[in-house]
């Protein structure tokens, strides 16, 4: 995201979740920081709600706490942040689902009750943790939406040429303690034994092993192959709500920068003859 000025300036913004007023220097913004002083929402969470507002027909500048109550709209989150999940539950018939506990939604092994059920689904920073085959997961995101339903999606991604899989062939694996650290021991689908050291973990619930770093073009391709339309990368700053971050640099100078902006898409409406 490029700001309309070159030097650091104070950005004043109103949180689109709780309506809290904030001000922060532009050079201090980060995807997982720039927290609202009132509710704690970071820039990513504000981006999620900004994009969802458009999908469900709410005003872009209206805070989530002031959205219209419409219990006829069914939505699902995948381990969503409680700060906006609790409010979504008051506004819609929404449930926050989890990989490892009830209410459970395993996007790689769907229960029949989820098929074609939701008007919107939020999947934020989940797909970097799922096993192959990846396309199956994207196909299942499509399947759980009603015709015309909207998807709000994010993963950490680069703008390099291809996705970087950390553990190719991961199939039947365990994470073990070994000499004061963690290793991954895997048997691939051909029966070969593999070992990986220095695994990368993310905080949070459920499966937190980072399997890959996506590239943007692969994400968009997976969504298109699943059948989604109106696919859009929301990479323009929305300074009035504090949705902004520059490219994210790694501690490893050889690693490509992350962009990881919010993406929206829709399942097409079925037109009857």
Run means of pLDDT, 10 residues per run, the chain, 273 residues:
78 97 95 97 98 93 95 98 98 95 94 96 96 96 98 97 91 87 90 88 65 96 98 96 92 89 96 48
Main-chain dihedrals φ then ψ at residue 186, nearest 5 degrees: -130, 145
Please tell me the predicted confidence (pLDDT) of residue 73. Answer: 98
Structural contact between residues 211 and 131, judged by C-beta atoms closer than 8 angstroms: yes
Give the tens place of pLDDT for each residue, 208-241: 789 999 999 999 999 999 999 999 999 999 999 9
CA distances from 70 to 55, 145, 226, 237 (A): 14, 18, 29, 29
Per DSSP, the three-state class of 86 is helix
Alpha helix positions (H), the chain: 43-56, 82-91, 134-144, 216-226
Name the burial class of residue 26, with classes exposed (0-12), middle (13-18) and buried (19+) by CB atoms within 10 angstroms of its CB.
Answer: middle
Please tell me the predicted confidence (pLDDT) of residue 265. Answer: 98
Domains with residue ranges and CATH for the chain:
10-165+210-266 (3.40.50.150), 167-206 (no CATH)
Q: What is the mean pLDDT of the chain?
A: 92
Please tell me the predicted confidence (pLDDT) of residue 273. Answer: 42
165-168: list long-range contacts, CB under 8 Å, 24+ apart. 165/211, 165/212, 166/196, 166/199, 166/200, 166/210, 166/211, 166/212, 166/213, 167/194, 167/196, 167/199, 167/211
Structural contact between residues 84 and 93, judged by C-beta atoms closer than 8 angstroms: no
Please tell me the predicted confidence (pLDDT) of residue 139. Answer: 98
Give the tens place of pLDDT for each residue, 158-194: 999 999 999 988 888 998 988 888 899 999 889 999 9
Main-chain dihedrals φ then ψ at residue 135, nearest 5 degrees: -60, -30
Please tell me the predicted confidence (pLDDT) of residue 178. Answer: 87
């Amino acid at each position: 995201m490029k700001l309309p000025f070159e030097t650091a300036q104070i950005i004043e913004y109103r949180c689109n979740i709780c309506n809290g007023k904030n001000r922060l220097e532009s050079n201090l913004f980060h995807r997982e920081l720039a927290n609202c002083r009132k509710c704690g929402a970071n820039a990513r969470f504000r981006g999620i709600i900004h994009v969802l507002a458009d999908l469900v027909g709410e005003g872009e500048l209206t805070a989530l706490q002031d959205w219209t109550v419409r219990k006829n709209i069914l939505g699902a989150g995948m381990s969503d942040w409680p700060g906006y999940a609790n409010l979504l539950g008051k506004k819609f018939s929404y449930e926050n689902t989890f990989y490892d506990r009830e209410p459970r939604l395993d996007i790689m092994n769907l229960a029949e009750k989820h098929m074609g059920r939701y008007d919107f689904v939020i999947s934020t920073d989940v797909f970097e943790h799922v096993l192959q085959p990846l396309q199956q997961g994207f196909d299942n995101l499509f399947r759980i939406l009603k015709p015309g339903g909207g998807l709000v999606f994010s993963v950490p991604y680069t703008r390099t040429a291809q996705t970087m899989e950390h553990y190719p062939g991961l199939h039947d694996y365990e994470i073990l303690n070994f000499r004061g650290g963690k290793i991954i021991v895997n048997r691939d689908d051909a029966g070969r034994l593999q070992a990986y050291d220095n695994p990368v973990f993310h905080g949070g619930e459920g499966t937190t092993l980072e399997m890959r770093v996506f590239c943007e073009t692969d994400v968009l391709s997976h969504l298109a192959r699943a059948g989604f339309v109106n696919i859009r990368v929301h990479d323009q700053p929305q300074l009035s709500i504090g949705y902004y971050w520059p490219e994210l640099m790694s501690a490893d100078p050889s690693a490509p920068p992350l962009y990881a902006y919010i993406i929206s898409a829709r399942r097409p409406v079925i037109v009857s003859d």
